[in-house]
Chains A and B, each alone.
Chain A
Amino acid sequence: NAGVMQNPRHLVRRRGQEARLRCSPMKGHSHVYWYRQLPEEGLKFMVYLQKENIIDESGMPKERFSAEFPKEGPSILRIQQVVRGDSAAYFCASSPGPGGGEQFFGPGTRLTVL
């Protein structure tokens, strides 16, 4: 299965801990997007990355959140000092080319902050 892979699928953290979410794009895709979904809501854009570059981070909270997509390895969404309001499903999507076009989503990571 060459789809978008995310791990872990479920992550439980206590307030103040760090959460690291990983995303491996589809084979041949070099563009990665992160979205957050709160219960009963649609997905909200967070950040768009290409290899080693952040293209658009207009949806990222100003503090505690960071993302990277290194030359080798998966994209990482990192949340420092988690709070209860960070509890949500975090989805990664990938696309083969820049800008507009189809995006294919992974199964998501469900983060629960106790």
Chain B
Amino acid sequence: GQQLNQSPQSMFIQEGEDVSMNCTSSSIFNTWLWYKQDPGEGPVLLIALYKAGELTSNGRLTAQFGITRKDSFLNISASIPSDVGIYFCAGQLYNQGGKLIFGQGTELSVKP
């Protein structure tokens, strides 16, 4: 089946640093979504991307839909302790309805 390769698996950074994570695939995606999941909770939608090349920001978060439609990245600037959590990319394939294919997640730890 289709797979999303998300990297890095985990990151340990100092408060105030910038963070970057990405997802790649061999398949072409119609939509890219980025979620954050806290322990014991459901994923919370951060950013949605719908067009190749699209660059979208949400506060300190910026995400881009790759030109080839096979990848996406998420940047977090000036990290703060509450950024701690697991970040997932998710993609929707063209003509495969609404189902999301998720990456394996990036676990972010922020040291104050």
Chain A interfacial positions (CB closer than 8 Å to B)? 4, 6, 31, 33, 35, 41-45, 48, 55-56, 58-59, 91, 93, 95, 98-108, 110
Of B48, B88, B92, B98, which one neighbours A42 at CB under 8 angstroms?
B88
Contacts of B45 in A (CB 8 A): 102-105
Contacts of A105 in B (CB 8 A): 35, 42-45
Alpha-carbon separation in the docked complex, A87 to B36 (Å): 22
Contacts of B102 in A (CB 8 A): 35, 42-44
Chain B interfacial positions (CB closer than 8 Å to A)? 6, 30-31, 33, 35, 40-45, 48, 50, 88, 90, 92, 96-105
B31 and A101 contacting across the interface, CB-CB below 8 Å: yes
30 contacts between A and B (CB under 8 A): A31-B98, A33-B98, A35-B100, A41-B104, A41-B105, A42-B104, A43-B88, A43-B102, A45-B100, A48-B97, A48-B98, A55-B97, A55-B98, A56-B96, A56-B97, A56-B98, A59-B99, A91-B42, A91-B43, A95-B98, A98-B97, A99-B97, A100-B31, A100-B50, A100-B92, A101-B48, A103-B100, A105-B43, A107-B41, A110-B40
